[in-house]
Chains A and B, each alone.
Chain A
Amino acid sequence: MTYSDYFLLSIFYFWASSTSLSLGIGYYTIYRPVMAGMIAGLILKNPQKGMMAGALVNIIYIDFVSTGGSFKGDQCLTAIVAAMVSILYDLDPLEASALAYPFGFLGILIWKYRLKINNIFVHIYERKYKENKAPDISVYDGLLPQLLLFVMSTLVFTAALSLMFLLNDAVNFKNIGALYYIGLILVILSAFNILYKIKNKYNFIIFGATFLAGELLGIRAYILFVLIILTLLFTVDKKVDFAKNIFKGPIKKKDLVYSWFIWMNYSHSCYSYDRLMGLAFAHSMKNIFKKLYDNKYQISEAIHRHTEFFNTEPNMGTPILGYIIALEEDRRIKDESFEDISYIKKGMMGISAGLGDSFTQVILAPLFISMSVMLCLDNDFYPAFIPVILLAALILFISYAGFMNGYFKGKEFMLQRIKNVKQSKLHTYFPYMFSGILGMSMSKLLFNDIRPYENIFTIITIIFAACLTFMRKRGER
């Protein structure tokens, strides 16, 4: 590993864990272990091995849902470390994921303190505003928090790297035979755990069916992938209606696009306990207010109004931004009061957060990411990019269409969106598809990488892990 590798990897870890500066889709693509592992592998000139290690880490984190910045370990750092150890020390991907697992807790430090530290920028901004200095929101929402995050993520990454070298010096990773079994237990535990969580009476039957189809009949993973995509294409409602673009005031299409672009890039940039996404909301209104007001202080005051506490699901919640822009413009033209705007924002943000998290994070992301993992485990490395690209396109579409329709159709669109999402057939199909993908993934893992029939210990470990999950779930009831 050279200094330039180190430099590139730390830049990449910053970019992926920031989830900013990646048009809002970084969180659904490069932050996910399967992709993070692939890119770390690319830097170390073995993308396939990195991707495989990432895919296994991904199974361990398959039930990951972040609601309001709260989760168990940093999957991105875990995947990068797994890819590194697997390539540098020539470890099996299972061994690498077991070794990398504890490193995830190092990464959680960033998330834990980020929300506290970002309060500092909120306070500096507030002070400057009170001193009548018309502070630039993009500095306090964009530049400074990102610079700080870069320093923090580089420190964490360097610490992880040093720890990895030190550990290897103390105990040669190659000599720890147990790693393989720990990795196996982690992966099986996670897969069974999520299978139990899927509330569907056929989950085990479908899991078993695809598992056997993959194991005994040798059916390739891409066949299941194509089947699922076809099902989605033919059954899920694809009705898209964009409102007619009618501009009544100074705001034009390019202003809306620019505002959306800022929101997508910075929604979590200055995520703080004080305001959560408040500063990001104000940041994305900056160019709008520049169009609506001439005076620097009026602009600053209007932006400041929107720095209040705000939190939503950034993609499903974009109609709020579009609608608020329309309201602000209308009130400005008619010279009416802004008093109720804050109330409308607060009422809508919670709803779209609840709706969004239970759709994008609980259904869309696991569905597409697990398909990528499945293809990867079947050694189809290039096709494994397709589900991730589809997911990114879907997320972009949801957020862009929401933003524009929010502006042109107003609050009625929010009602319509809730109805559409709730009626989406994906809710019904998701448990079946997901159980199937899990079954196929497990079968490919055993078929291509583990081969339990060559080793009695492996069989015992798998049965042990499965029983452990079963007992724990029984205990919970």
Chain B
Amino acid sequence: MNDVFIRVDDRLLHGQVVVSWIPYLQAKVAVIADDEYANDEFMRSLIESSGPEGVRVHVKTIDETAEFLKDDRDDKILVLLKSIEGLNRLIKKVRISSINIGGLGAGQGRKRYYNSIHLSDDELKILKDIANENIVVEVRILPKDKAIVIKGN
């Protein structure tokens, strides 16, 4: 099985990820799993050209990401998703052992869950359902932070 780290963060490939997470994970491949950006020629090339040195960045739709993860690879892979809804779709297509929640902005009926992480009731329910399937769901903004584990029902 591939060495995959999955993070939900609506800022995708931003400062915390580039400066802290990528060196911490020693990830060599970053996959941005997002249908909207994958289908937008300009945004895709913008994001793909922005990876730090030594890291290959791909922008793929959720379906393509699932296929990509099924192939065996040696490198550590970081998958970034913008939303819980996208995560829910991905997780149904490919087996994953743990997920990291790193940043979700306020709005759309969301309430503050922890610092800069906001979740709506529906999203929290989805996460709890995921946790019920024996997948570790942790809230952790930076590698050095203490992980808050979301437990199933």
Contact = CB atoms under 8 A, between A and B. Distances in A.
A351 B13 contact: yes
B50 A418 contact: yes
Interface stretch (A218-226, A243-251, A353-361, A389-397): A353-361
Given A65-B19, A350-B13, A353-B15, 11 more contacts: A67-B20, A68-B103, A313-B15, A343-B36, A347-B43, A350-B11, A350-B14, A354-B18, A355-B18, A415-B46, A418-B46
A19 interface: no
B105 A415 contact: no
Given A67-B19, A354-B18, A354-B52, A348 B10 contact: no
A347 B50 contact: no
Contacts of B14: 311-312, 349-351, 353-354, 357
A30 interface: no
Contacts of B10: 309, 346
Contacts of A361: 19
Query: Sorted from nearest, which 9 A-B pairs have the closest CB atoms?
Result: A309-B105, A357-B15, A354-B18, A350-B14, A353-B14, A353-B15, A350-B11, A67-B15, A351-B50
A6 interface: no
Contacts of A344: 43
A115 B115 contact: yes
A309 B43 contact: no
A103 to B, nearest CB: 22
Interface of A: 65, 67-68, 70, 115, 119, 273-276, 308-309, 311-313, 343-344, 346-351, 353-358, 361-362, 411, 414-415, 418-419, 422, 427
A343 B42 CA distance: 13
Contacts of A276: 105, 116
B46 A414 contact: yes
B18 A358 contact: yes
B23 to A, nearest CB: 9
A244 B11 CA distance: 32
Contacts of A70: 16, 141-142
B99 interface: no
Interface residues of B, number: 33
B45 interface: yes
Most buried by A among B11, B40, B141: B11
Interface of B: 10-20, 36-37, 40, 42-43, 45-47, 49-50, 52-53, 103, 105-107, 112, 115-116, 118, 141-142
Nearest to B105: A309
Contacts of A311: 11, 14
B137 to A, nearest CB: 20
B115 A362 contact: no
Nearest to A355: B50
Contacts of B142: 67, 70
A65 B144 CA distance: 13
Contacts of A418: 46, 49-50
Nearest to A421: B50
A347 B42 CA distance: 11
Contact of B141 (A68, A309, A343): A68
Most buried by B among A70, A313, A414: A70
B15 A356 contact: yes
Given A346-B10, A354-B14, A274 B49 contact: no
B106 A275 contact: yes
A274 B106 contact: yes
A312 B15 CA distance: 8
B45 A415 contact: yes
A89 to B, nearest CB: 35
A358 B37 contact: no
B133 to A, nearest CB: 29
A274 B11 CA distance: 14
